Amino acid sequence: MDDEDDASAAAVEEHSEGDERIEQRRGRGGGSDRDAGDLDAVKETSTKLSAGEAVVKEEEEGTRLPFVHYEIMQEQEGLIAGIKSPNVSGVQLDALIKSARGPEWNVVYSRALTKGTQDVFIAAQGPEKLDAVHAVARAGGIIKRSVWMVHGKVDDAALEALRRTHKNSTDTIHEVRVVRQFHSHSAQGGWLSILEAQWTAFHQAAIKASLQKIGHPVVGHGSSTARLRARGFRGNKLATCSLKFTLADGTCIDFSRVDEVLERYALLGMREEAAWETKTCKREQDFIQQGIDPKRARLLAEERDPISYHLDSDWKGFGVDISSDAVEATRANASSLGLADRCVLKQCDYAQFPDPFPEVQASGVLFSAVVCNPPYLPDRVSGTMAVLRNVPRAGYSGGEDGLDGYRAVASFFAQTSSVQEGAILALEVSGNFSKRHEQVKSLLQASGHLSYWRVGKPDHLQQQRCLLFRYTRSPSAAEAAAS
């Protein structure tokens, strides 16, 4: 499901109730007369802005930070709190809150790298101050999502304090980031000297004052733009090669190792998916002690990069999809990566594979691995999920019990002549894994040609999704392996 849609819906609901809850809080004695005056001033300022009576001079273009976004948060009892409000003017936001601004508040923003929009972060010293900041943002109609962060040593006491704050807060927490450690990509002079050189146009005095008060400021994801420019990349190539420097599992990254990984991605003109950049915990989930970017942690710790691992390999792939658009998109991707001569793509129903495959028969080389994610949702469920409204039904509807796709896979392996003895089948099993994986395992082993091997590694959200099987042409051998 689209997390942004969920967050937006929750935010709209919160906004509609915001003023009422602020008044209730005052009635309970939760706010001072100064707070009430501040909020009245903020509402007046907000009205002027929305009516166009206040003219805000936009900052001049020119200075570009080497960060997609950054955060300066203040720490109190191990907790850091803020709100993120994308696609609004940082200058207007700053003007809006000045009437109620105190020295304990910071507004930090940077120009986003696409379409000239803004990513705005507001930080406050603690939950009570943050409530006032949220009220300001709500009055201006600009709050997008509430971001809470834990910085430094992540322990049970800090997490319990976070839960307590969430319970008493007047705003919904949309996202929680548990951060163990940050590190700069600066080779000399430390991160502070680099940031100081870039913040002239971004309230440098206020930010430096905050840094002096805090022993452990927090800085967001660093971009690799400078490193790529040094390698001669420019324009679109530069944008597509961006590789974030982050930390995971409390481990400092050896940046010489990062450079090695960066080179591989740069050669391919690729960048990491944004979904890998942070580990988010929704309020329905338990708060867990996870660092940023678990993919990076595995990639560096295990010294393997699946993309670059086979750059010089002689492996070839054969792909099928029922969607002509999907086939054409895959063909374009393969061509842009210089892999067009190593893959064969066909449009067909996976349940009606041509066997033997003409290309396999002509080469005399059999498949050594088959990867498949068949439709897995029962028809009665798939028709009710809003997240699937723009997805072709054939891509997710798995029949009455959701297992028709797996039956087609079992049927293929029962009669194929294109797969070599001992080949691996990697099969995605989604939904209720603990229940479904037993059903799928039994169904495939009943074909007489597949023996269950093991559960695959969990995905980046630590969810089990993959079952691995071994193929044999002898039914008796498969039964023996299964037993």
What is the predicted pLDDT for the residue at 141? 55
Angle at 6 between CA 182 and CA 275, to 5 degrees: 35
CATH 3.40.50.150 domain position(s) in the chain: 349-482
Average pLDDT over residues 437-449: 89
pLDDT digits (tens, 9 = 90+) for 61-98: 222 222 222 222 222 223 333 444 444 454 544 554 45
pLDDT digits (tens, 9 = 90+) for 281-303: 222 222 223 333 334 444 444 44
What is the predicted pLDDT for the residue at 426? 92
Average pLDDT over residues 197-226: 32
What is the predicted pLDDT for the residue at 42? 34
SS3 content of the chain, % helix, strand, coil (to 5): 45, 15, 40
Percent with pLDDT over 70 in the chain: 29
Reply yes or no: is the peptide bond before residue 356 cis, omega within 30 of 0.
yes
What is the predicted pLDDT for the residue at 135? 61
What is the predicted pLDDT for the residue at 470? 92
* CA separation for the pair 245, 128 (Å, rounded): 33
pLDDT digits (tens, 9 = 90+) for 327-365: 888 888 888 777 788 888 888 877 676 676 777 777 777
Residue whose structure tokens are 């691992």? 309
Q: What is the DSSP string of 17-73?
A: HHHHHHHHHHHTT-S-HHHHHHHHHHHHHHHHHHHT-S--PPPPS----SSS-----
What is the predicted pLDDT for the residue at 450? 92
Average pLDDT over residues 196-214: 33
Percent with pLDDT over 90 in the chain: 3
pLDDT digits (tens, 9 = 90+) for 244-261: 333 222 233 333 444 454
CA-CA-CA-CA dihedral for 287, 292, 295, 299, to nearest 10: -130
Name which residue leads in pLDDT, 219 or 415. 415
- Give 361's DSSP letter: H
pTM of the full structure? 0.40
Average pLDDT over residues 98-111: 40
pLDDT digits (tens, 9 = 90+) for 399-434: 888 888 899 899 888 888 888 888 999 998 876 777
What is the predicted pLDDT for the residue at 131? 56
Name which residue leads in pLDDT, 307 or 280. 307
Q: Give the chain's largest Cα–Cα span.
A: 84
pLDDT digits (tens, 9 = 90+) for 4-51: 333 333 332 333 333 333 233 223 333 334 334 433 443 343 333 333
What is the predicted pLDDT for the residue at 469? 94
What is the predicted pLDDT for the residue at 138? 58
Please give the mean pLDDT across all residues of the chain: 52
pLDDT digits (tens, 9 = 90+) for 154-184: 344 544 554 455 444 434 444 333 332 222 2
What is the predicted pLDDT for the residue at 474? 76
Domain covering 349-482, topology: Rossmann fold (3.40.50)
